Amino acid sequence: MRCGYYNRRSETHHGIKEEMDDDENISYKYDIDKNQSLALNLKGKLLLVTGDVHKNVRPGATIRMADALIKANKGFDYMIMPGQRHSFGDMIEYFFWLTADHLSKHLLGVEATNIDMLEMNRDKPKG
């Protein structure tokens, strides 16, 4: 979720914590808190968005978060951006309006009901 910013990365090294003892020997602790363990503490209407080919925050991490939210009986919206990586590429404007509409609905109580997604793209060259 970028809205409210859940994105505490679940990268390759997520879940690994480096620890140093008194003699400065380094060891690694592999079971630190993950986002899913925080689901019970979250409040409000959350928005989870992920690109389906994201290399750092893999879609599976967002799916695991959705599962944890469902098990915690938390409300949320969920969107997968097809063919997109971290910054959502050519779907960034769609993501912007998705986020704006989500915030408007859940923070201001104003739901946009007459949105024409085609209007967003009227000035873009046809290709």
Mean pLDDT, residues 46-74 taken together: 87
In angstroms, the CA 125 to CA 32 distance is: 48
Backbone angles phi, psi at 118, to 5 degrees: -65, -35
The pLDDT value recorded for residue 12 is: 47
User: How many structural domains is the chain composed of?
Assistant: 1
Confidence of residue 10 (pLDDT cuts 50, 70, 90): very low
Q: Does residue 118 lie within any of the structural domains? A: no
Q: Is 14 helix (H, G, I), strand (E, B) or coil?
A: coil
Whether the predicted pLDDT of 11 surpasses 50 = no
CATH for 55: 3.40.50.1820
Q: Does residue 125 lie within any of the structural domains? A: no
Q: Comparing 6-10, 13-17, 39-43, which segment has the lowest mean pLDDT?
A: 6-10
The pLDDT value recorded for residue 77 is: 92
Q: Does residue 26 lie within any of the structural domains? A: yes
The pLDDT value recorded for residue 78 is: 93
In angstroms, the CA 14 to CA 71 distance is: 22
Domain that holds residue 21: 17-112
Confidence of residue 43 (pLDDT cuts 50, 70, 90): confident
